[in-house]
Structure 1
Amino acid sequence: MRLVIQSRTTGCFLAPNVEDGQPEWVMLLSEAATLDDVETCVQLIEDHAEPFHRPAVVDLDDLYGKALNA
């Protein structure tokens, strides 16, 4: 499973920085490190997202599968 956290307000992605592991909001999906489990996503959201972000966990593998079947 490859997961990312996306702000439904800004479109930015919340992910650990690939260099130091510190969470940050990035604009590009290509800059967002993927996460392996929902528990990590929940913890990042609780610790680093504000309510206005309206964060959503997106399963990239699921999206890819839907695109192939469309």
Structure 2
Amino acid sequence: MPRYIVQSKSTGRLLVPSSDDGQPEWTLDLKKAGVGVVPEIDRAVQLVEDWCDVDDLPQIIDLDRLGTQDDYQ
């Protein structure tokens, strides 16, 4: 199963659900990032469309590419 997460290129923050109300919020805490991982690219794209501003420079990271020959360069 693929694993995707949304990251801001401008700040390095990750988009994860809030522990208060479940609404997405930005965090630098990598320990919280696991709850922000989504299995479908369409869901990750929807998070970008609904919760990111242009100045966030959002990017969708495929966690399964990290550390492989297809890693991001």
**TM-score normalized with structure 2 length:** 0.77
User: In the alignment, does 2:61 pair up with 1:58?
Assistant: yes
Question: What secondary structure is seen at the aligned counterpart in 2 of 1:65?
Answer: coil
Rounded to whole Å, the distance in 1 between the matches of 2:19 and 2:27 is 12
User: Mind listing any 5+ residue stretches in structure 1 that lack a counterpart?
Assistant: none
Q: Which residue of 1 aligns with 2:28?
A: 27
The 4+ residue runs of structure 1 with deviation greater than 4 A are: none
Question: What secondary structure is seen at the aligned counterpart in 2 of 1:64?
Answer: coil
Q: Which residue of 1 aligns with 2:39?
A: 36
User: In the alignment, does 2:8 pair up with 1:7?
Assistant: yes
Which has a greater percent of helix?
A: 1
Deviation at 1:16, TM superposition (A): 2.4
Aligned length: 67
Question: What secondary structure is seen at the aligned counterpart in 2 of 1:11?
Answer: coil
Deviation at 1:2, TM superposition (A): 1.1
* Cα RMSD for the two superposed structures: 2.0
**Fraction of identical pairs, as percent:** 38
Question: What secondary structure is seen at the aligned counterpart in 2 of 1:36?
Answer: coil
Q: What amino acid does structure 1 have at the position aligned with 2:16? A: A
Deviation at 1:42, TM superposition (A): 0.9
